[in-house]
Amino acid sequence: MSHRAGFVSIIGKPNAGKSTLMNALVGEKMSIITPKAQTTRHRILGIVNTDDYQVVFSDTPGIIKPHYALHESMMHQVQGSIVDADLILLMTDINEQHEEEDVMRRLESSLAPVVVLINKIDQSDPETVKQKVDYWNEKLKPLAVFAISALKFPNTQHLLEFIVEQMPEHPAYYEKDALTDRNDRFFASEMIREQVFKQYKKEIPYSTEVVITAFKEEENIYRISAEIIVERESQKNIIIGQGGSMLKIVGTYARRSMEEFYQKKIFLEMFVKVIDDWRSKKNYLKKFGYED
């Protein structure tokens, strides 16, 4: 029996109803929900597993806040999630007044098929719904348009089935049981990276990689060691901060996220290491999981 697996990126304005949809789609089948970091590179919201398939949902928040002057590099991350997707779900609110031109522009670079979800139809009437469906069909020529109410009638089974049909034949990307060691490490690095994005400005977050070098699970405590890798000595000084003050802040917040996430006491130690220009070195990109 063939197995399907793939990545689905959900894009849309912040209040379009993405999380509600996720909860409806993933329902009881949710096996992993990550802490929803603001700016991670491999954001995963939820994974839907059965014996026959695995669908990995990820989110691209903020991409389309029109008032938000996004850094080029940040757009890179968003483009990444759009480019990596096997399917894109574009979530739009039935009451949305603005032409979503910014969305269209992002989608031009993508080869992935798009499904448009018109949400909150419970706040509308059949005529308006029909107009919107026609509008999107003409505008984007998507694979399909679904008119839904993620909150009021969360029955999204037919949508999920449609999504699964679009997934390529592929083995599962993640373990199907509980969080495995590999995923625990992955989430630990994401929680540190989340703080790097929150606490530092400008190019620092984009020049930074986080590598978990040790992850020891003892009965009452997880002992985690991490390296924060930057490209230049000057960045190392910024990351550490006056007398280690900045690194301490990152450590405190990351540890809190981890304690909440793993429901364990966490001992976290972090080191900062310079690898000149790692972002342009194939072997490091590969090592950090950016190249196939």
> Tens of pLDDT along 269-287?
999 999 888 877 777 777 7
Q: Is 61 annotated as a binding residue?
A: yes
Amino acid 65: pLDDT: 45
Which tokens belong to 268? 């976290």
Query: Which segments of 149-233 are extended strands (E)?
Result: 209-217, 221-230
Residue at a domain's end among 103, 136, 166: 166
User: pLDDT of 220-244, one tens digit each?
Assistant: 899 999 999 998 899 999 999 999 9
- Both 161 and 188 in one domain: the answer is no
Amino acid 94: pLDDT: 87
SS3 content of the chain, % helix, strand, coil (to 5): 40, 25, 35
Which tokens belong to 216? 């020891």
- The CATH number of whichever domain residue 52 belongs to comes to 3.40.50.300
Select the more confidently predicted residue: 171 or 248.
Answer: 248
- Both 25 and 71 in one domain: the answer is yes
In a domain, 82, yes or no: yes
Determine what percent of the chain is predicted with pLDDT higher than 90: 26
User: pLDDT of 243-266, one tens digit each?
Assistant: 999 999 999 999 998 888 788 899
Q: Is 63 annotated as a binding residue?
A: yes
Nearest to 90 by CA among 27, 152, 140, 131: 140
In a domain, 175, yes or no: no
Amino acid 154: pLDDT: 62
Q: Is 73 annotated as a binding residue?
A: no
Type and span of the H or E element at 195: helix 181-199
Burial of 88 (0-12, 13-18, 19+ CB in 10 A): buried
Q: Is 236 annotated as a binding residue?
A: no
Count of domains for the chain: 2
- Both 115 and 222 in one domain: the answer is no
Using alpha carbons, list the distances in angstroms from residue 190 to 78, 116, 123.
16, 29, 37
- The CATH number of whichever domain residue 222 belongs to comes to 3.30.300.20
Amino acid 31: pLDDT: 43
- Both 109 and 187 in one domain: the answer is no
In a domain, 176, yes or no: no
Q: Is 66 annotated as a binding residue?
A: no
First to last CA, the chain: 26
- Both 30 and 116 in one domain: the answer is yes
Determine what percent of the chain is predicted with pLDDT higher than 70: 74
In a domain, 76, yes or no: yes
**Given a cut of 60, is residue 34 above it in pLDDT?**
no
Q: Is 122 annotated as a binding residue?
A: yes
Amino acid 14: pLDDT: 64
Q: Is 15 annotated as a binding residue?
A: yes
In a domain, 292, yes or no: no
Tally of CA atoms within 13 A in the half-sphere of 145 that contains its CB: 20
Residue at a domain's end among 133, 166, 199: 166
Q: Whole domain around residue 198: which residue ranges?
A: 181-287
Using alpha carbons, list the distances in angstroms from residue 279 to 189, 275, 285.
17, 9, 6
Q: Is 137 annotated as a binding residue?
A: no
Q: Is 62 annotated as a binding residue?
A: yes
Contacts by residues 67-74 (CB-CB < 8 Å, ≥ 24 positions apart): 71/206, 73/203, 73/206, 74/39, 74/206
Q: Is 292 annotated as a binding residue?
A: no
